[in-house]
Amino acid sequence: MSDQGKIFNVLFLCTGNSARSALAEAYMNAKMGDRFRAFSAGSHPAGRVNPYALELLSSVDIPTHYLRSKSWDEFALPDAPHMDFLFTVCDDAAGEVCPVWPGHPMSAHWPFEDPASFVGSPDATRKKFADVFVQIRRRIDLFASLPLRSLDNMAIKKSIDALAHSERHA
């Protein structure tokens, strides 16, 4: 992983690819696009990005025009971008049989509560999305702070696994 100047490709996986994985993709691309290129996908895509996720991202000036709910099969194709890291962000996707990813990216499971399954008033739903987004941002910020270019693969794997337990309920 010690390629100087390399932009690392990161794939965030979830079941529906409508909330958590899309939030992670948009945040990482907007805030860390000089070092990471993020993508997201789902095992059973919802077909659209959740409107509350789009509203939240727009409210913090993160572009959403390119976001779409898509199948993880797109990223297992021969012409798909080579992924360096793969993160499952929900328990359902972590337990499913994933496609074989070209290049065998380093992976970790970072579970987050699903704000799309929350039942409540529109204001309570917005708050749930905001709370989960804060957790996603913190985890991604911690990941981005790792000295990826100076660590060996074993140290990186240990670090990204440990992030699953960091600030989980902060």
pLDDT band, very low/low/confident/very high, at 3 (cuts 50, 70, 90): low
pLDDT at 97: 52
Residue 45 is assigned to a structural domain of this protein: yes
Q: Which strand (E) or helix (H) includes residue 6?
A: none
Residue 141 is assigned to a structural domain of this protein: yes
Residue 96 is assigned to a structural domain of this protein: yes
- Give mean pLDDT, residues 145-159: 81
Catalytic residue annotation: 14, 90, 98
pLDDT band, very low/low/confident/very high, at 165 (cuts 50, 70, 90): confident
- In sequence order, the β-bridge partners of residue 75 are none
Q: How many structural domains comprise the chain? A: 1
Residue of 68, 93, 70, 66 whose CA lies nearest to 80: 70
Residue 3 is assigned to a structural domain of this protein: no
Going along the chain, which residue ranges are E strands?
8-14, 36-42, 85-88, 106-109
Q: What is the DSSP string of 60-101?
A: TT---TT----BGGGGGSTTSPPPSEEEE-SHHHHHSPPPPP
Residue 168 is assigned to a structural domain of this protein: no
pLDDT at 91: 67
- In sequence order, the β-bridge partners of residue 106 are 85
**pTM of the predicted structure, to 2 decimals:** 0.88
Residue 135 is assigned to a structural domain of this protein: yes
Residue 166 is assigned to a structural domain of this protein: no
- Checking if the pLDDT of 62 tops 80, the result is yes
Look up the domain containing 151 and give its range: 8-158
Residue 18 is assigned to a structural domain of this protein: yes
Q: Which CATH number do you get for residue 126?
A: 3.40.50.2300
Rounded to an integer, what distance in angstroms lies between the CA atom of residue 3 and that of residue 159?
Answer: 18
pLDDT at 92: 60
Distance between first and last Cα of the chain? 30
